[in-house]
Amino acid sequence: MKPLNAMRGATSHLLLCLISVIAVSTYGSPVVVNTWPFVDATSEAWRSLLESADPNFAALNAVEQGCSKCENDQCDFTVGYGGSPDEDGETTLDAMIMSGKDMQVGSVCNLRHVKDAISTARLVMDRSTHTTLSGLQATAFAQEMGMMLTNLSTPASSSAFYSWKEARCQPNFRCHVSPKASESCGPYKQDNAESDQLYADSANSHIRHSSASSTWPSRQDHDTIAMVAIDAKGNIAAGASSNGASHKVPGRVGDACVAGGAAYADNDVGGCGSTGDGDLHLRFQPCYQVVESMRQGATPKQAAEDAVQRIVKHYPLYVGALFAVDKAGNHAGACHGWTFQYAFQDNTLNAPQIVTVQPVNIKTKQVNTLDNAQR
């Protein structure tokens, strides 16, 4: 496989239908970067980064506080309580936090009845030797650790759920079931009569996946705050929090609670945060890929583009985005299928700055050519 810079040179004649933006922070200085223009979360993380009582945990504390701010503020109603009800009308939360210093991770998946998802993930990391807890057992752990139980639904989320039910549960994430998911709310069972169609769709998995919901993912139906912080000692932390996909099948786990999916960090290299189609992110682990590409010498811009292209090759209708940050604080974003914005703050700024990334669709044939150039 040729180096990424050689790949870019070999394919410069192609229309690269992926726009990425790169920004540079002062070498060695602290920085906070997060998905979307959630600037209040950026500011809270930056404040924590500078004021942390223990400099050894400044980056971790910053990520926890920044994501907590978004949870409490219900950022876009796609983070925290009161958003994205599942098929049963319940809001559940996914979150993770990671230390790039020692590669420790704590996460909670499908967390119920506890608002503080990122802080519960931090407790999993600090107060157990496990990496991930899920469901009601994660709730029980949180309660043991002093978290308060509460109802995660709100009048707004309940209204959204009942409106969805009145619209015959459209859109949804079911397929090859009886009654037809495109016409009914269920309850569903396997439809053996559609076995031939199931196999046909398997050969065109990018079509089947992307058509599962005509409106998802979008800023209104699914989103994640993913954040990376680098402190004055060079420690890197990453984290993510989300209430998942609206009208998801109960029990669904998103990428926001999986290291490498929505976020990743390594002090030797840098960090990454992603947003968008969490089901695909679980298959490709784009943030892990970003960090590994930077480890091999790629710039944040190159690593971000490459990770997105790997997904688009197999799923041309993929909708998502990510940012990459190297250990020096240089950062870049890449996206596909929507316009992406990320926020950052460092010592050169008095307030968070927003970077906008404009996407242009990549044609499958061109991406395959890019892939061939790597061999």
From 277, 237, 245, select the one nearest 261 (Cα to Cα): 277
Find all residues with CB under 8 Å of 176, minimum gap 6, and list them. Answer: 190, 191, 194, 197, 198, 201
| Structure-block tokens of residue 48 | 């924590």
DSSP sequence for 192-231: GGGHHHHHHHHHTHHHHHHTS-TT-SSTTT---EEEEEE-
In a domain, residue 22? The reply is: yes
From 292, 236, 261, select the one nearest 59 (Cα to Cα): 236
In a domain, residue 195? The reply is: no
Find all residues with CB under 8 Å of 299, minimum gap 6, and list them. Answer: 22, 326, 330, 332
From 289, 285, 259, 264, select the one nearest 130 (Cα to Cα): 259
Find all residues with CB under 8 Å of 18, minimum gap 6, and list them. Answer: 305, 308, 309, 312, 334, 335, 336, 359, 360, 362
Q: Could you tell me the CATH number of the domain that includes residue 119? A: 3.60.20.30
Give me the helix-helix angle, 135-144 and 117-127, nearest 10°: 80
Pairing mode, strands 132-134 and 105-111: parallel
| Structure-block tokens of residue 105 | 């991770």
The structural domain count of the chain equals 1
From 278, 287, 305, select the one nearest 221 (Cα to Cα): 278
In a domain, residue 167? The reply is: no
Give me the helix-helix angle, 39-51 and 58-73, nearest 10°: 150
Active-site amino acid positions: 224
In a domain, residue 181? The reply is: no
- CA gap 270, 287 in Å, rounded: 10
> Could you tell me which residues are beta bridge partners of residue 99?
237
What range defines the domain where residue 291 resides?
18-152+218-359
pLDDT of res. 198: 59
From 1, 31, 8, select the one nearest 329 (Cα to Cα): 31
What phi and psi values does residue 214 have, to the nearest 5 degrees? -70, -15
In a domain, residue 103? The reply is: yes
Amino acid identity of residue 277, one-letter, is D
In a domain, residue 244? The reply is: yes
Would you say 30 and 327 are in contact if contact means Cβ atoms under 8 Å apart? Answer: no
- CA gap 229, 362 in Å, rounded: 31
pLDDT of res. 207: 52
pLDDT of res. 330: 97
Amino acid identity of residue 312, one-letter, is V
Distance set, CA 203 to CA 80, 198, 209, 284 (Å): 37, 9, 11, 18
10-residue mean pLDDT profile of the chain (375 residues): values are 42 36 56 97 98 93 98 91 94 98 98 98 99 98 98 96 95 93 93 65 54 48 86 97 94 97 98 96 98 98 96 94 97 95 96 90 44 29
| Structure-block tokens of residue 20 | 């990425």
In a domain, residue 203? The reply is: no
In a domain, residue 205? The reply is: no
